[in-house]
Amino acid sequence: MHKKYFIKFTLLLGLLVIISGCGNRKSVDEPNTEQSTTQESETISEETTTEDIPTDYAYTTTVSINPQIKLYLDIENYILGAEYLNDDAKDAYADLKLKGLILEDGMEQIVTAAIEKQYLKEGMDISITIDDVTNQDVEKDNLLFGIKDDISQLLDDSNVTATIVVNSDSQDNEQAEIQNQSSEQESTMCSRCGGSGECVGCHGGKDKCPACNGTGYETCPMCDENGLDHGQTCATCGGTHHYLCTHCKGVGTAIDCPECGGTFKCQACGGTGIQK
């Protein structure tokens, strides 16, 4: 009897050991689902928030709203890669697939994303800059104003009013040249006429003749207003009661200016406006 119970007990104990071993094996073989999910999430996050920055590009375009993104393009205006310049750019543009797009399509996606995520609102500015030009065939001005037109159309379609600011080196150079010319003129400007080249004595001949008050005619002193001298047609003026000004010869201006002698030119600079 005891032997029978002993055998049953031994069989039961062996069965428990087998079951315990299977449970442990299952625990060891099963992968760590939580760790795997975390690693996969990190990989996806990295892929969607960065783009390869190429080294062989023709130029770059920086778009600044509040998010700032820098696009790297080839000479055919295809996007080779993008660089997010601040955290807002990562938030706004991380889901965009810009690589391989033509610039126009890339700009459309960028502006649309900025509007949808409330980064671009009514009355704000969009700044477009082309820099890091490595290819001399890049036509910066044409590109900039083409981008501006495309964005303007997109804003109109989206019913958003914003100011588009384009920055060009050629515009900066032109402004600098104007400023240099202005500085040069200021440094050599005639101190007498202030650069106008006109005689200051008669204001360039603009002063009225003192004899005829600028009309070019003097009133005849020999007849009345009807041109009659003692009831007869005035022999001096022919009955017109006026005659050509003997002072200015009918010009009406002070041609006998004592400073310029009627030349109307500044005598200090000869009428050039530049200091001799």
Q: Is residue 238 part of a domain?
A: no
- How big is the chain, counted in residues? 276
User: Has residue 249 been placed in a domain?
Assistant: no
Task: Return the closest-CA partner of residue 203 out of 213, 212, 195, 193.
Answer: 193
Find the domain containing 123 and state its range: 59-169
Indicate yes or no: pTM above 0.75. Answer: no
Cα of first residue to Cα of last residue in the chain, in angstroms, is: 140
- Residue 275 DSSP class: -
Give the pLDDT confidence of 237-263 residue by residue, as tens digits: 888 888 888 777 777 776 667 778 777
11: in domain: no
Looking at residue 191, what is its pLDDT?
83
Neighbours of 119 (CB within 10 A): 18
Higher model confidence: residue 99 or residue 14?
99
Question: Would you say residue 48 lies in a domain?
Answer: no
Assess if residue 275 is contained within a domain.
no
Residue 138: how many other CB atoms lie within 10 Å: 15
Q: Is residue 250 part of a domain?
A: no
More confident call, 162 vs 260: 162
Here the tokens at position 102 are 């033509």
Greater pLDDT, 38 or 97: 97
13-22, 208-217, 244-253, range with the lowest pLDDT:
13-22
User: What are 117-132's pLDDT values in tens digits?
Assistant: 999 988 899 999 998 8
What is the pLDDT confidence band of residue 96, given thresholds at 50, 70 and 90?
very high
Asked, for residue 187, whether it belongs to a domain, the answer is: no
Tokens of 268: 């200090």
Number of structural domains, the chain?
1
Check residue 174 and give its pLDDT.
Answer: 47
Distance CA 150, CA 155 (A): 9
Domain assignment present for 252: no
CA dihedral of residues 71, 72, 78, 81 (deg, nearest 10): -80
- pLDDT confidence tier of residue 44, bands split at 50, 70 and 90: very low
Residue 22 is predicted with a pLDDT of 52
Greater confidence (76 vs 38) lies with 76
Give residue 141's pLDDT band: very low, low, confident or very high (50, 70, 90): confident
CB-based contact 193:273 (threshold 8 Å):
yes
Cβ atoms < 10 Å from Cβ of 189: 16
Instruction: Name the nearest CA neighbour of 61 among 18, 24, 111.
Output: 111
